[in-house]
Structure 1
Amino acid sequence: MTQLPAESDRAAETWRPQPPLSRAAVARLVQLAGLYNVLTVVLPAPHGRLGELAGLLPMAGVLTARAATAASGLLLVYLGAGLRRGKRRAWQVAVVVAGGGVTLHLAQGWRLDAAAVSAALLVMLIVVRRRFQALADPVNRWRALLAFLGFAGAGFLLGLLEIAARANRLEGRPGVLAWAKEAALGLAGVSGPVRFVHPLGGEAVSYTTGMFGLLSVAVAVVLLLRPAHRLPQRTAEDDLIVRDLVRRHGGADSLGYFALRPDKSLLWAPSRRAVIAYRVVNGVSLASGDPIGMASQWPQTIAAWLRDCARHGWTPAVLGCGNAAGRAYRKAGLDVVELGDEAILEVASFGLDGRAMRGVRQAVARVRRAGYTCEVSRLRDLTPEALAEAKQAADAFRDGRVERGFSMALSRLGDPGDEDCLFVVGRDADGRIRGLLHYVPWGADGLSLDLMRGDRTAENGLTEFMVVTTMTAAPELGVRRISLNFAVLRSVFARADELGAGPVLRLSHHVLRAASRFWQIESLYRANAKYQPAWQPRYLCFPSVRELPRIAVAALSAEAFLPGAGRRPAPGPSAPLELSR
């Protein structure tokens, strides 16, 4: 690899694989101060201090201050993650919480030592303010405001109703305006102008309004700081350029065509001769595959993407890049580990002869004897009726209500711009569609599997029959290589049964087999290994080991393997079998 140009050198000034030590240290100190706040609430106040406050604050106000102190402590612990990423919004909230902590510590029991800690924390945050410049997401700002107004409004109305229900137990004859002042001030933990005949009624109103006040602030802050998704900003011109880059350079990466998904944002090299397709999920900027375009422009594209991550405080991560891209990302500062292997079938050398292909050969023969047939067509050659029938079958064979896939799936069928995509339809003896494969172009002479769905009630071996039919038709289509499914951590399964496999490898094998009960890990490996493919490694790129849990959650969310994640298609029947990238 050649030395990265000055563009990426400048990026190193704004992005580092790990947060600066001073920023990380600040985050830890803020979290420790938060834990200390919680501790001051748990421990009793110094002897006599509550008596000194009795003449200044009502007991409800003292109790509210204690609850607010505990909430602020937990909030400071929560803010640590945002501070480590340099989020400006997290710093602003931490300053407000630290400043308010001085008053809260005095109000909850005249704790001078704890107030001094909050004051010192406030001073420290102000001194290091220039280290927290990552931009906030404007979408969260409105959600936070709506949540705050919603919970605060609910607490206000509930407090007003409680006062109205005790209207005959109030001292004097306060009007509705006084009731409203009491409910509004109660949200902040302060007593208003209304006095109750029985103190228990006043405490009930104070607790109700105070709880909703704390809840509104806590929920608003969490929404304010929660990493949001960046909405894709793609123009029609961008899509045309990306499509042209895929056409001219897509032969280097079987995943290149999936950059045409409309839910991926684009980050360009200054020359616009290379681009990274990515999606922001829970504060992780998740790219997939190799950069698209000229390899000589990759360093500039990667540098621009990393600067964008630093500007917003996002964690950069790459799913499933190839060897050349992995080297480029590693040179830019990311760590690289093998994620798994991609199964590649070479048309010229593929055949059903030999003992290794016996299982596939028998499956194909069995399906043919059952009267099954297979149709192979480019999208451009399908009639509207045939396309509609294939799309209906794909919906019927979907496993669940969510459209899965992100890094290795197109998540659409029959788009006019995808005229080179290939449909392989398997029919039974009665002419009904019982299985479907969908491939996207891989350069000028390849195909990459996008979708594999089938009816579980169909004859066993239908998938093998469709794959073999694709390989048989490939020469006439000008195809010489086909990429099948990606096998996560394939080497673990392949080596676990070998002589000399160590305890770590065997343990990893058991863990993956357990995970395969929920996700298709081992089954995808076995399903592809039967074709005797060539295995091409794919890599995961990430900034630090500490970020791997967040990246894993973001990746599973993007691929729609977590509850509530993914895009839900139009209603339709579902079937139990789905093997897709």
Structure 2
Amino acid sequence: MSNRYLHLHSLVAILVGLTGVGNILTAWLVHHPGRFIWLKHYLPWIVLRGSWLSSVIAGTVQLFLSWNLGRRKRQAWRIAVAMFSISTAANLLRGLHYGQAAFNLGILLMLLALKPHFTAASDPPSVRHGLAVFAGVTLFTYLYGLSGFYLLDRYFHQHFDLAEASRQTIAYLAWLATPELEHPNRLARWFLDSLAIIQVGGLLYGLYMVLRPVVYRRTVLMPERKRAAGIVERYGRSSLVHLTLLPDKIYHFSRSQRSFVAYALVGNVAVVLGDPVGPDDDIPHLIDEFTAFCANNDWHPAFYQVLPDYLPVYQACGYKFLKIGEEAVVDLHTFTLAGSSRKNLRQTVNRMVRKGYSTELLLPPLREETLRELKEVSDHWLRLQKGGEKRFSLGWFDPAYIRSCPVMVVRDSRGRVQAFANIIPEYRRNEGTIDLMRRREGESGLIDLLFVRLMEYFKEQGYDSFNLGLCPLAGVGDHPGASLQERAVYIFYQHFNQLYGFKGLRQFKEKYGPRWEPRYLIYPHPLLLPKIAMAVVTANAGGSLWSYVRAWREKRRLV
């Protein structure tokens, strides 16, 4: 992993890009009249002109390919080898330009020598689609050009029969200039421009599809989900590990089949939820294997909300890390409502009890009538939030999921559910935690009563702690040794708090006296951080950012 961005393929990609620029500039700016005069005795003017245009097109495509060669695309390597062979020949025809031809030949030999480095696959259906686009655009532009030259010949001051119209079309699509097209009027020029736009547009779209990263289409099979559940039962030990079993996750297992990562694919970013799950001795191997798997699919791996435990392992594999917030964890051995520090919380709970509010633990499987009541509360809460259900690092209200969980509810004096939270396991970690926490609009103490009763329940069950969840961006970049990335996060935390309420969330959880445990984002390279951050946000939004945009606009309107 550490050498991914330092391999020789990166140097070759840069050289290909520079060569593309050089091909374009020399085609336009560098001419040796003596060479052209000598070549005119042996080659037609059409061939000379066509070779010049071919160099321009080859240089443009080389610029496009250089980026994909940097991504180690196998298809880009194949196209680059073909393009450099053509470019070398074109440079010889363009005035016997031996120096440029020799340089291109050297790059071609380097590409051939480094063939094993280019292993990143393209998406097979997209490759087939791209090739079909090439064929379809070629056929369409030929028929379009044939009709245009035949019907518009008078606008070129020529007479084209079908055979001559076909010859002109083929020559134009091959970027070979012909004397008959040297004096078009405005309509004829518009036709030529439209023909070029169709051809170049089809070429670029076809190249994009051929070089597109692999798109995950395979359905996760039930045996794989059962295998993941078995590993979680044996090795799971975090507040997120149960969420890896939800159906929005894709699995990659280690070669030993003893560990796995659960991820979502957003574009070409594979966002892993939490740390790998499995025995400690298998985790470094799995991280290396998953990194190679992503590289071969032209994906960028990232690990979201990881614990500090494996940071040295990620660093050894070449990754960077960025603190993204802190989880609030309450020590149940010391938690109490007694004392002056808990006075406000104690008064809030007592006030809610006096008003007739009570809590009840509902054990699975839940009845349909109960699910309908919980759904009403959930829908009301979503309307308050001005957004839709989240995914990935949170669960969502799925009846089958909620039915299988213990649920703590808060009821009013009439027995109506006003708030609820579903309890999820952390398996090997003796810690209580919840996933969804939803309420109706009303009494401000609903969540305080709910949390206090949850902590009392977990304490009675012998748990050591209660996880209140992540406070995003909390404690990031507020110390002298903070990195540039952490300071940028801190600026965002300070200036956008009014819209997103980061500080309010931390202040709310602070009343329970938790300890704050850091959580991190693991990423491969600083230049990829903005793209990965957007992928994380998109994954948490369920694949669409519209819910965030809608909520942001509504909150901004109310500010």
Highest CA radius of gyration, 1 or 2? 2
Amino acid at match of 1:71: T
195 and 93 in structure 1: CA distance in 2 versus 1, 3 angstrom threshold: closer
Q: Aligned to 2:374, which of 390, 404, 409? A: 390
Distance 2:524 2:171 in 1: 47
Identity %: 24
Change (3 A) 1:560 1:116: farther
Given that residues 60 and 203 in structure 1 are in contact (C-alpha distance below 8 angstroms), is that contact kept between their aligned partners in structure 2? no
Aligned equivalent of 2:251: 266
Deviation per residue, 1:124-176 (Å, 9 max, x gap):
2123222223333324323434554666677567656755763775744634x
Matched, 1:81 2:65: no
Letter in 2 for 1:128: L
Q: State the TM-score, normalizing by the size of structure 1.
A: 0.76
Query: Is residue 438 from structure 1 mapped to residue 422 from structure 2 by the alignment?
Result: yes
The one-character-per-residue Cα deviations of 1:528-561 (angstroms, maximum 9, x if unpaired) are 3332212222233334444434433433333338
Match of 1:130 among 101, 107, 116: 116
Partner Cα distance (1:272, 1:465) in 2: 43
RMSD: 4.5
User: Which is worse superposed, 116-125 or 56-65?
Assistant: 56-65
Q: Say if 2:122 and 2:212, in contact at 8 Å, map to a contact too.
A: no
Letter in 1 for 2:311: G
Change (3 A) 1:166 1:287: same
Deviation at 1:478, TM superposition (A): 6.3
After TM superposition, give the deviation of residue 112 of structure 1 in Å. 6.4
Distance 1:532 1:433 in 2: 28
Deviations 1:180-205 (A, max 9, x none): 77657644445799989955444332
The C-alpha deviation readout for 1:17-59, integer Å capped at 9, x for no partner, is 5444422222222232233345447x64537699999962399
Distance in structure 2 (CA, Å) of the matches to 1:367 and 1:153 = 75
Give, in angstroms, the shift of residue 79 of structure 1: 2.5
The 2-side partners of 1:236 and 1:145 are apart by 35
Q: Deviation at 1:512?
A: 2.3
Question: Are 1:538 and 2:519 counterparts?
Answer: yes
2:161 aligned residue:
174
Residue in structure 2 matching 1:413, options 374, 392, 398: 398
1:242-261 correspondence runs (5 A): 242-250=228-236, 252-261=237-246
In the other structure, the counterpart of 2:449 is 465
What is the CA distance between 1:246 and its match in structure 2? Answer: 1.8
The farther-off stretch of 127-136 and 501-510 is 501-510
1:342 is matched with which residue: 305, 320, 327?
327
Q: Does 1:485 align with 2:469?
A: yes
Q: Distance in 1 between matches of 2:257 and 2:115?
A: 35
| TM value normalised by structure 2 | 0.79
Name the aligned partner's letter for residue 57 of structure 1.
Answer: I
Task: Check 1:491–1:197 CA distance in 2 against 1; reply closer, same or farther (3 A cut).
Answer: closer
Aligned equivalents of 1:502 and 1:127: distance in 2?
43
Contact 2:46 2:178 in 1 (8 A): no
Contact 1:446 1:482 in 2 (8 A): yes
Q: Report SS of the residue matched to 1:509.
A: helix
* Deviating more after overlay: 284-293 vs 63-72: 63-72
Of the structure 1 ranges 155-164 and 221-230, higher mean CA displacement relative to structure 2 is found in: 155-164
Match of 2:436 in 1: 451
Q: CA–CA distance in 2 between the matches of 1:533 and 1:477?
A: 19
Which deviations, in whole Å up to 9, do the C-alpha atoms of 1:482-537 show, x marking residues without a partner? 322212342238x57xxx99998887633322354665644443343332212222
Please give the alpha-carbon distance, in whole angstroms, between the structure 1 residues aligned to 2:431 and 2:447: 20
Any idea what SS the aligned residue of 1:490 has? coil
Counterpart contact for 2:391–2:540, Cα < 8 Å: yes
For 1:203 and 1:59, the matched residues in 2 are separated by: 22
Query: Is the 8 Å Cα contact of residues 17 and 334 (structure 1) preserved in structure 2?
Result: no
1:98-497 mapped onto 2 (5 Å cutoff): 98-102=84-88, 114-145=100-131, 147-148=133-134, 159=145, 162=148, 166=152, 171-172=158-159, 174-175=161-162, 186-190=172-176, 198-231=184-217, 234-250=220-236, 252-361=237-346, 363-364=348-349, 374-378=359-363, 380-398=364-382, 399=385, 403-406=389-392, 408-411=393-396, 413-415=398-400, 420-426=404-410, 435-443=419-427, 446-455=431-440, 457-475=441-459, 480-492=464-476
- The secondary structure found in structure 1 opposite 2:334 is coil
1:344, CA displacement in angstroms?
1.6
Deviation at 1:75, TM superposition (A): 0.7
SS in structure 2 at match of 1:415: helix
Query: Residue type matched to 1:288 in 2?
Result: L
| Per-residue CA distance 1:381-409 (angstroms, 9 max, x = gap) | 42112213323543453346654332x22
| Partner AA of 1:174 in structure 2 | D
Letter in 1 for 2:279: M
Alignment partners' CA distance in 1, 2:92 and 2:412: 79
1:400 and 1:575 in contact (8 A); partners too: no
SS in 2 for 1:409: coil
Q: Is the 8 A contact 1:69 1:104 kept in 2?
A: no
Contact kept, 8 Å, 2:213 with 2:298, in 1: the verdict is: no
Distance 1:35 1:425 in 2: 66
Match of 2:21 in 1: 35
1:355-396 per-position Cα deviation (integer Å, ceiling 9, x unaligned) = 444554455456566665555424x24211221332354345
